[in-house]
Amino acid sequence: MSNVEKFTKPYFQIYGSQETGDYIITGVSKSGTSEVLHEIKQNRNTGLKEARLWIFRYVGTNQEWLNAHREIGEYVVKPKRLKNSWRSASLEEYISNIYNT
């Protein structure tokens, strides 16, 4: 079983890189379907932070996107990176981590 299969749904995927500044946020629902929710273009300086802030605000008004542990799940995918990163945090931890990175 892959890490993706073990992760608690729903969760968000952030695809992109600082080099291009382009980021795509997709949501993977509890049923496993995936949809593009938001795109950020040419923001090389703070694109990932902007993506995370968007997720935080989105979950604030769409609580069904919290997982079974009442956390925001996030998988960050950078092209050509061998090991991508998983993150899961409560709303409070999530916003705190955004401003401390």
Confidence label for 75 from pLDDT (cuts 50, 70 and 90): very high
Domain count, the chain: 1
Per-residue pLDDT tens over the stretch 11-69 = 999 999 999 999 999 999 989 999 999 999 999 999 999 999 999 999 989 999 998 88
If you count them, how many residues does the chain have? 101
Range of the domain at 61: 3-99
